[in-house]
Amino acid sequence: MELRMAAVKQLGSFSLSVDFTLVGERTGIFGASGSGKSTLVALLAGLQQPDRGEIVLDGEPLFSSSKSIDLPAERRRVAVVFQHPCLFPHLSVKSNLLYGLRRCLPENRVTDFGLLVEILELKDLLKRGVNLLSGGERQRVALGRALLANPRLLLMDEPLSALDDGLRFQIIPYLKAVSEQFGIPYLFISHSLTEMRLMAEEVLVLSRGEVVERTSSEQVARSRMGQSKIGYINQLNLQDACSSGDLFSYRWGDDRLLISAGSDEKQAVFQLSSKDIILFRKHPEAISARNLLKCNVAGIFTSGNRVGVELACGTNRLVAELVQQALEELQIAVGSEVYAAIKASAFRRVRGDGR
């Protein structure tokens, strides 16, 4: 996919002015509320017109003020999944899905309905009215309908914001799986850094209507660590759960971690804040934290008045957060050996079954 967008749009006192080319299959548009994300989506999808500029997708101009081109939304083959899925309330799941297929010219109907239904796990819901679905199920139907129209580009505008945390992490694997399976590139638009890190590697950062940074989602997370109340969030995929007294023990690479919020599911994804990792230069004698990992310092970065210490624990990586004074006192440098202590209660389970 190659998307070129150079466009200007004035809305009252707000002005959007962007100029970028994207070639990646999964790109994030990250920005605070009011930065212009939805306006950008509307211009790309043909729901609003730029005042001037060019939008070219895979060599085809969707909009060009100089050539007086403005392809109508239905001919752009740019699908949008919004925060609140706009489904037909009186129709069943199947009819809502088939609506997507009907919007597609017969020669473009390449998305396999059965496979899509299988990947989105909608088979048992096909006959149900959409009003009887949960928020996550509705969003899966909206996604399926968008994909059945066989778009060249899928725009996901805060598709997870209306969902609670549990559902949000359940939906993310579906979003990625369908894009991969059907080879449909997407732009993932969100103000949530956690979502962004899970959905896109390359990110355009939008601020006051302009792209102010083009970087990786990982870099955005690191650079914002110092200003964030919750710190840098480490995401851990853990396996082979087994109970260990009141706790659960999981395999994490060559190590095992003891976690209080575990369950019987064999695999799970947990989050751990950089603020919840305490570093020692020497093996501590007796500590209450249930996890003590021997690590090497693989990197050090600063963010505001905080220092991020990237720890290599075998093949795994963790980011711990310190104040500068602690870094100096402990004489931590790249290559140092350190011990990381983590309480069993510091892990937050976000998803079971390892999907």
Using CB under 6 A, list all residues that contact ligand ATP: 11-12, 14, 31, 33-39, 191
Minimum CB separation of residue 186 from ligand ATP in Å reads 17
**Identity of the amino acid at 180:** E
* Comparison of 39 and 111: residue with beta carbon closer to ligand ATP: 39
* Comparison of 161 and 336: residue with beta carbon closer to ligand ATP: 161
Minimum CB separation of residue 48 from ligand ATP in Å reads 9
* Comparison of 48 and 92: residue with beta carbon closer to ligand ATP: 48
* Comparison of 31 and 100: residue with beta carbon closer to ligand ATP: 31
Kindly give the interhelix angle for 135-148 and 93-102, rounded to the nearest 10 degrees.
30
Residue 334 token pair: 């790249």
Going by the DSSP 8-state scheme, the letter that residue 82 receives in this structure is: -
- Rounded Cα distance, 63 and 334, in Å: 50
Give the chain's length.
355
Minimum CB separation of residue 36 from ligand ATP in Å reads 4
* Comparison of 191 and 266: residue with beta carbon closer to ligand ATP: 191
Minimum CB separation of residue 160 from ligand ATP in Å reads 13
**Identity of the amino acid at 30:** F
Minimum CB separation of residue 42 from ligand ATP in Å reads 8
Q: What angle do CA 90, 94, 99 make, to 5 degrees?
A: 75
Residues β-bridged to residue 155: 80, 187
Minimum CB separation of residue 207 from ligand ATP in Å reads 10
- Rounded Cα distance, 344 and 340, in Å: 13
* Comparison of 33 and 331: residue with beta carbon closer to ligand ATP: 33
Torsion, CA 251, CA 254, CA 260, CA 263, rounded to 10: 0
- Rounded Cα distance, 303 and 309, in Å: 11
* Comparison of 37 and 351: residue with beta carbon closer to ligand ATP: 37
8 A C-beta contact, residue 45 and residue 82: no
What 3-state class would DSSP assign to 320?
strand
CA 46 to chain centroid, in Å, comes to: 24
Minimum CB separation of residue 84 from ligand ATP in Å reads 12
Minimum CB separation of residue 187 from ligand ATP in Å reads 13
Minimum CB separation of residue 319 from ligand ATP in Å reads 27
- Rounded Cα distance, 123 and 327, in Å: 54
* Comparison of 35 and 194: residue with beta carbon closer to ligand ATP: 35
* Comparison of 52 and 84: residue with beta carbon closer to ligand ATP: 84
Phi, psi dihedral angles at 119 (to 5 degrees): -65, -40
- Rounded Cα distance, 236 and 274, in Å: 12
Question: What stretch of H or E contains 343?
Answer: none
CB atoms within 10 A of CB 348: 15
DSSP letters, 238-283, are EEEEEEETTEEEEEETTEEEEETT--S-S-EEEEEEGGG-EEESS-
Minimum CB separation of residue 283 from ligand ATP in Å reads 47
* Comparison of 41 and 221: residue with beta carbon closer to ligand ATP: 41
